[in-house]
Amino acid sequence: MRVEAGRLDDLPESKAVVAADGRVVVVRTEDGVRAFENRCLHRGSSFEGARISDGVMTCPAHFWRYRISDGRLVADPTIGLSEVPCEVVDGRVWIELPEPETASIRQVLLRHAREWRRQP
């Protein structure tokens, strides 16, 4: 599903912008934009209000830092954020969201329990 995230000119260079009903975080780069799933790997916090400096996005909740170039965690580049395809067309930013997952409530609760156990 393709959704508009706004105008490229309206995206600040020093701050991440949350789009698509909070599902995606969009970051302006020298080349255009990058988009990632709006969920910090540390505790699942939103990147709303995240600062961008020297090519790094810092989570406002617990200060985990991610490289904008590839979404990788600065402290451990073996893990990173899920990138969301995006493009700029006629000055507007478009995001390609994955189709919603269809799962039973049981599957959702089991996945949630597994993810919760992995958190430090």
Residue ranges of the domains in the chain?
2-118
Q: How many residues comprise the chain?
A: 120
Structure confidence by residue, pLDDT tens digits, 91-111: 999 999 877 666 778 887 888
Helix (H, G, I), strand (E, B) or coil at 110: helix
**CATH fit for domain 2-118, picks 3.40.50.2300, 3.90.105.10, 3.40.50.11540, 2.102.10.10:** 2.102.10.10
Phi and psi at 114, nearest 5°, equal: -65, -45
Q: In what order do the strands lie in the sheet with 33-37?
A: 17-19, 24-28, 33-37
Q: Looking at residue 51, what is its pLDDT?
A: 95
- Please state, as a whole number, how many other Cβ atoms lie within 10 Å of the Cβ of residue 17: 21
Q: Are 91 and 5 in contact (CB under 8 A)?
A: no
pLDDT band (50, 70, 90) for residue 118 = low
Reported as a single tens digit per residue, the pLDDT across 13-48 is 899 999 888 889 999 988 889 999 999 998 889 999
Q: What is the pLDDT of residue 108?
A: 78
Of the listed ranges 27-31, 54-58, 113-117, the one predicted with least confidence: 113-117
**What pLDDT score does 115 carry?**
76
